[in-house]
Amino acid sequence: VCPTAALTEVNHIPKVWEALRNPKKYVVVQTAPAIRVALGELFGMEPGTIVTGKLAAGLKKLGFDKVFDTDFGADVTILEEASELLERIDNNKTLPMLTSCCPAWVSYIEHQFPDLVDIPSSCKSPHIMVGTIIKSYFAEKNNIDPKDITVVSIMPCVAKKAEAARTELSIDDNNNVDIVITTRELAMMFNEAGIDFDKLSDEEFDHPLGETTGASVIFGTTGGVIEAAVRTVHEWKTGEGLEKIEYEQLRGIEGLREAEVKVDGTKLNIGIAHGLGNARKLLEDIRNGKSKYHAIEIMACPGGCIGGGGQPYHYGNDEVVKARQKAIYEEEKNKEVRKSHLNKEVLKMYEEYFEKPYSEKAHKLLHTKYTPKERI
Ligand code: SF4
């Protein structure tokens, strides 16, 4: 991953055009939380301009059969991850639990800390969950053969391209996600298609995988995944609605942060790291038995996905990353529902298909495992 342009992605745009031109393919696109606060920069807008509605409109103009939101998968991730954390705490299992949505970080632990591969959450990342849900629940509901579906992910991330190819994540030898393109590649596609992005009128995502919450929006920034998880853990554990939904102590831009959060009389120690140098410090402590945390969020890119290697280049300018982070929190505040466990379409899906979070079926389709790899 490289936000300074020293490395660049393999171009997968031709593959997307090929899928869109193939009449036998049902082509579904999904877009990550961090794209909507950065894409506008590639069309001359100020960093931090929110372009969610234009993004949905532009993707519809490109001709995708469905335009879904990876944020839906982020809400599902929280239901699964919060269940896993509670299960580990209640049964004295391995702690801390580490978040697993960042594939660069997952690859890092497999290669650099192979003795610790049992500590990340077993949850697949949100876009892989969405790919899985499209090719199982959505395909069944709409009577479409999963083999005829092509799932395209728009990601702020170069590492997601390699993640989508991981065989551990496929189901019946069918990849959950077929093609990944970055924010920069999407802007090139809009240009190639002659779409005047800044003149687009706002449109909505398609349903059912288009309903999302504020909790899923904040996945785009450092601290957001763990804040979303704590909201759900708190309400599940206490059975009471949170009075103040913002956990300010989990927010910020410092590379290493920690917070103590009270849940039903129990203190949860939370660690947050972004940038792999910072992650290493927390991992060394775990290896040496010195970690005090119950849960840790790790993101490889400085700032989290808002500063991802597939985003518009910011050349190390922290102000750009801060503007994108501010926009993420603005977008979250405007959402009617701000907790993942209250996403109605996610709950309906569980009722109709997975039964409940962390069920046997959810485990089979939405979770994975990690393999120790040779140090590189
Ligand atoms: Fe990708 Fe960076 Fe986000 Fe990790 S933090 S998922 S590497 S964009």
Instruction: Give the mean pLDDT of 256-273.
Output: 93
Residue 187 has pLDDT above 70, yes or no: yes
Q: Where does residue 15 rank: exposed (0-12), middle (13-18), buried (19+ CB within 10 A)? A: middle
What local confidence, expressed as pLDDT, does residue 6 receive? 67
Residue 19 has pLDDT above 80, yes or no: yes
pLDDT top residue among 349 and 174: 349
pLDDT top residue among 202 and 175: 202
**Total number of domains constituting the chain:** 1
Instruction: Give the mean pLDDT of 272-291.
Output: 95
Q: What is the largest CA-CA distance in the chain?
A: 57
1 lines ligand 1 (CB under 6 A): yes
Active-site residue flag, 147: no
Q: Is 320 helix (H, G, I), strand (E, B) or coil?
A: helix
Q: How confident is the model at residue 375 (pLDDT cuts 50, 70, 90)?
A: confident
Give the tens place of pLDDT for each residue, 221-255.
Answer: 999 999 999 999 999 999 988 888 899 999 999 99
What local confidence, expressed as pLDDT, does residue 50 receive? 98
Position 270 in a domain: yes
250 lines ligand 1 (CB under 6 A): no
What local confidence, expressed as pLDDT, does residue 114 receive? 95
Mean pLDDT of all residues belonging to the chain = 94
Position 242 in a domain: yes
Position 1 in a domain: no
Q: What's the token pair of residue 337? A: 């529902």
Position 6 in a domain: no
Q: Dihedrals φ, ψ of 78, to 5°?
A: -65, -40
What local confidence, expressed as pLDDT, does residue 13 receive? 97
Q: How confident is the model at residue 181 (pLDDT cuts 50, 70, 90)?
A: very high
How far apart CA 126 and CA 77 sit, in angstroms, is: 6
Give this prediction's pTM.
Answer: 0.95
How far apart CA 201 and CA 254 sit, in angstroms, is: 37
Give the tens place of pLDDT for each residue, 302-356.
Answer: 999 999 999 999 998 999 999 999 999 999 999 999 999 999 999 999 999 999 9
Instruction: Give the mean pLDDT of 176-198.
Output: 97
- Minimum mean pLDDT range among 154-163, 167-176, 195-204, 285-294: 167-176
Active-site residue flag, 227: no
Give the tens place of pLDDT for each residue, 31-47.
Answer: 999 999 999 999 999 99
301 lines ligand 1 (CB under 6 A): yes
Q: Which of 54, 124, 160, 161 is catalytic?
A: 160
pLDDT top residue among 169 and 274: 274
What local confidence, expressed as pLDDT, does residue 175 receive? 86
Using the mean position of ligand 1's atoms as its centre, give its distance from the Cα of residue 248 in Å: 22
What local confidence, expressed as pLDDT, does residue 3 receive? 61
Instruction: Give the mean pLDDT of 91-103.
Output: 96
Instruction: Give the mean pLDDT of 3-8.
Output: 64
Position 347 in a domain: yes
Atom of ligand 1 nearest to the CA of 305: 3
- Looking only at the bridges linking them, the beta strands covering 266-274 and 256-263 are antiparallel
Using the mean position of ligand 1's atoms as its centre, give its distance from the Cα of residue 145 in Å: 31
Position 4 in a domain: no
Active-site residue flag, 340: no
Range of the domain at 288: 13-366
Residue with tokens 């590649």: 185
Instruction: Give the mean pLDDT of 96-116.
Output: 95
What local confidence, expressed as pLDDT, does residue 232 receive? 97
Position 372 in a domain: no
The CATH number given to whatever domain includes residue 126 is 3.40.50.1780
Residue with tokens 């082509």: 27
Position 328 in a domain: yes
How far apart CA 120 and CA 58 sit, in angstroms, is: 36
